[in-house]
Chains A and B, each alone.
Chain A
Amino acid sequence: MKKPDRSLGRVAAIVGMGDAYADEQNVKDPLQLANEATWGAIRDAGIKKDDIDILLTGRAPWADRRPQWNNIFASYLQLPVRMTTELTFHGAGVNAMIGQAALAVAAGVADYVLCVQADAVQLFIDATAVGAATDACPQFEFPYGPTIPTIYAQLACRYMHEFDVTEEDFAEVAVQRQEWAVHHPKAAKRKHGLITVEDVMKSPYISSPLRRWMCAVWGPGGTAGAFIVTSVERAARAKNPIYIHGFGTCTTHEYLCERINLRKSRIPLGPLPALTTTGAAYAAKEAYEMADMQPQDMQLAALAGNFSHTVLVQLEDLGFAPKGKAMDLMRSGRMRPGGDFPVDTNGGWMGFGQPGISVAADSLVETIRQLRGNPLGLKAGNNPKVAMAYSAGGMLACHSAVILGTEKS
């Protein structure tokens, strides 16, 4: 497989970031949220709207599923651009925008690339019903009546079986996500306060072994994140640039019934058939190689843990713990508030919540805010200078990892 040119980790930076939020008292649709975040990013970057050459979005928001949503948004902005497209490998596409923007800058086809994503599931749609209809195979899975948790629970079942992990372990993951979430003013689960392992174990099963507290929630009401990417040369004139040190992506399948029947893969997934190693490992490896860094160089991480067990599998696949041993890292306390390796500092997808496809933008927003030292919630105690933002999409399908830092490499 061709390896990406390592120099790509030294070409681009994020010079503008904007975020926007909605809730039931303050209803906004995805276009309004994306607009607010975009103007925030433009102001932050100190550029004019017409400086933008390329517009990237992830796939259409769940709450506004019109095809070519990226072009609808370009039109809404009255922003004629050289190129616009959606990166549609589920939620991972939102994270992958940063790498694709860096490629456009490196190729010399853009001075400024706007990457934006918004969604507002809780305010506009019944995500429990629509979710499975979207992500289950419509021929061989959806007719049996699964939800998204049911599909993900197949991995939870195998992870417990193969590595002797328990429901109480999954409960501990929820407890630690909540420790960060209670400090974030926009986190969907903030209102519930701190929880204990017993609280989690008392919550009802959604789809076993996953209990309510082990699952992300379809909130907050709405969010958006916008990011303006430019060259490191232009970034030198920006007031608070965040450098793009590395990025990597991959996708291994669409539906779970395809993934479990996969018997060989040029993207290493361990011995097949199996579910417990995902493409995150490969996406992260590419990003580390481009950045010339190791997992232990990361001083903060934002995961895409929509359930307790995906937090654990991702910690392993991203290189922070050996396979099957993420609970040791969890129990070490290093990732908690005050720890030396803060992870999911907005509460992660479980605590902050999953407002839709924009959840991956929320993780990028949190990572950039922590690197700049201005988080909305609790500040990481270790003054992080380099961080991993990872996003997953689909049913363990799509993976994107970005390494960001405050200093030019």
Chain B
Amino acid sequence: MLEQGEFANFKESYPQPRVTQDALPYWEAVRNKKLLFQRCPACSGAIFPPRSICPMCDAGAKPAWEQSKGAGSIYSFSVVHRPPSAIWKSHAPYTIGLVRLDEDYFLFAEIEGKPEDMAVDKRVQVNFPDREVPLPTFRLV
């Protein structure tokens, strides 16, 4: 098997997020078990993923950071039975879904809980489990 460049290492360890400059405050907050998102001061729209200028209106405004309450509902989900690589095997089956936060933006994230309990529109709350790679997840309420 030919393994190429940047793809060579991820099978042996959980992948770290490739952090962008725009998202530095987001990841700093995750380390403190807080969930941040941005809002445009001009159009009031919730912005995610983070940006340096609001892409949703023509004001060209710099988004402001806000703390999310971390409460939302399941918009869509999928239970992963065949994971992408060996490191995930002991974790499977796990659920990954799109969560619609009450502040009206979406996160793609793991939803903790029994696969059979998952359903569209079920309420979820953010969680910050102690793991090798700190990530916000959600759990069924």
Residues of A within 8 A of B82 (CB): 128, 147, 149, 204-207
Residues of A within 8 A of B45 (CB): 263
Q: What's the least CB distance linking A390 to chain B, in Å? A: 24
B10 touches A129 (CB 8 A): yes
Q: What's the least CB distance linking A308 to chain B, in Å? A: 14
Q: What's the least CB distance linking B127 to chain A, in Å? A: 13
Q: What's the least CB distance linking B113 to chain A, in Å? A: 14
Q: For the complex of A and B, list the 8 residue pairs with the smallest distance between their C-beta atoms, beginning with the closest.
A: A153-B78, A138-B18, A157-B76, A154-B76, A208-B79, A205-B81, A257-B108, A260-B106
The residue in chain B whose Cβ has the minimal distance to the Cβ of A131 is B84
B15 touches A143 (CB 8 A): yes
B78 touches A140 (CB 8 A): no
The residue in chain B whose Cβ has the minimal distance to the Cβ of A152 is B78
Partner of A261, one of B4, B19, B49: B49
Residues of A within 8 A of B106 (CB): 257, 260-261, 273
In the complex where A145-B91, A146-B96 touch, is A204 in contact with B81 (Cβ < 8 A)?
A: yes
Partner of B97, one of A129, A131, A154: A154
- Residues of chain B at the chain A interface (Cβ within 8 Å): 1-7, 10-11, 14-20, 23, 45, 47-49, 56, 75-85, 88, 91, 94, 96-98, 100, 105-110, 115, 120, 133, 135, 137
B78 touches A126 (CB 8 A): no
A144 touches B109 (CB 8 A): yes
Q: What's the least CB distance linking A1 to chain B, in Å? A: 17
A206 touches B76 (CB 8 A): no
Interface string of A132-143 (1 = CB under 8 A from B): 110001111111
CB-defined A-B contacts under 8 Å, sample of 10: A125-B2, A142-B15, A143-B14, A144-B137, A145-B83, A145-B94, A207-B82, A210-B78, A260-B75, A261-B47
A145 touches B80 (CB 8 A): yes
Q: What's the least CB distance linking A144 to chain B, in Å? A: 5
The residue in chain B whose Cβ has the minimal distance to the Cβ of A126 is B1
The residue in chain B whose Cβ has the minimal distance to the Cβ of A161 is B120
Q: What's the least CB distance linking A31 to chain B, in Å? A: 14
A154 touches B78 (CB 8 A): yes
In the complex where A129-B7, A208-B78, A260-B106 touch, is A143 in contact with B96 (Cβ < 8 A)?
A: no
Interface membership of A269, Cβ < 8 A:
no
In the bound assembly, the distance between CA atoms of A141 and B3 in angstroms comes to 22
Interface membership of A292, Cβ < 8 A:
no
Chain A contacts with B in 200-237, Cβ cutoff 8 A: 204-210
In the bound assembly, the distance between CA atoms of A57 and B75 in angstroms comes to 37
Partner of B7, one of A133, A143, A273: A133
B78 touches A150 (CB 8 A): yes
